[in-house]
Amino acid sequence: MKNLILLFSIILTYTSYGQDVPIVDKIPIVKNIFKFGIKVSANSYESPEDLADSVKDLDDAVSKINGINIGVYSQIKLLMLYVRPELHFTTYNTNFGEILGDIRTSRIEAPVSVGLKILPILSGFAGPTFRYKLKGDEDKIKTITSNATMGVHFGVRIHLGKLGIDARVDQSLSEGQSQILATNGVTGFKTDNNPNTVSVGLSYAF
């Protein structure tokens, strides 16, 4: 996990000083294959079906937001496919009922997507999401066994030049899924108590 965070820190540093490195703009093949950018998303714990039924206007949509994230991404184009690692800082609230109430937490998330262009402006994507909990009120919950957890995500993305709009569902791993990964040599990540998340994001490529 530390190596993953270090990798994305290097990407962030490179992106911040990208204007001082004109080689990317001078070599068309590099510019066409590699992209770097920033993104922001609003998250909700409502299911896609519930959101479709209950959101009628902007006020309804805002009331369903449980958290936000902001971060950076890189994207590598491979014919009709692309690989897109991202790094987010995320804050969110989880409601655990009347006894515990709202639990506020912040974490680092690193989703890695493999996308497929369905249309020139539309793609579908999926992949693992690596998470590292920073701090919050989750000391009230004893079943969270590790700061490092892993989930899966899938969604669709609209490509409008340098702008991108995506909608995704992020799911936590069940105990059974974790065991399957463990038998295949993927260890070090635990399950968590976070509900499935629906997010809508906006990204901009430099």
| Residue 192 clears pLDDT 80, i.e. is over it | no
Domains identified in the chain and CATH numbers: 2-205 (2.40.160)
Between 159 and 96, the more confident residue is: 159
More confident position, 52 or 161: 161
User: In this prediction, what percent of the chain has a pLDDT beyond 90?
Assistant: 34
100 or 86, greater pLDDT: 86
180 vs 89, more confident? 89
Return the higher-pLDDT residue of 70 and 142.
70
Least confident of 56-70, 89-103, 165-179: 89-103
> SS3 sequence, 68-132?
EEEEEEEEEEECCEEEEEEEEEEEEEEECHHHHCEEEEEEEEEEEEEEEEEECCEEEEEEEEEEE
Query: Dihedral through CA 128, CA 190, CA 109, CA 59, nearest 10?
Result: 90
pLDDT tens by residue, 54-91: 888 888 888 888 889 999 999 999 888 999 999 999 98
C-alpha–C-alpha distance, residues 75 and 59, integer Å: 33
What is the residue-wise DSSP string for 128-175?
EEEEEEEEESGGG-TT---SEEEEEEEEEEEEETTEEEEEEEEEEPPH
Task: Tell me: pLDDT of 1 over 60.
Answer: no
| 44 or 86, greater pLDDT | 86
So what's the pLDDT on residue 139?
Answer: 52
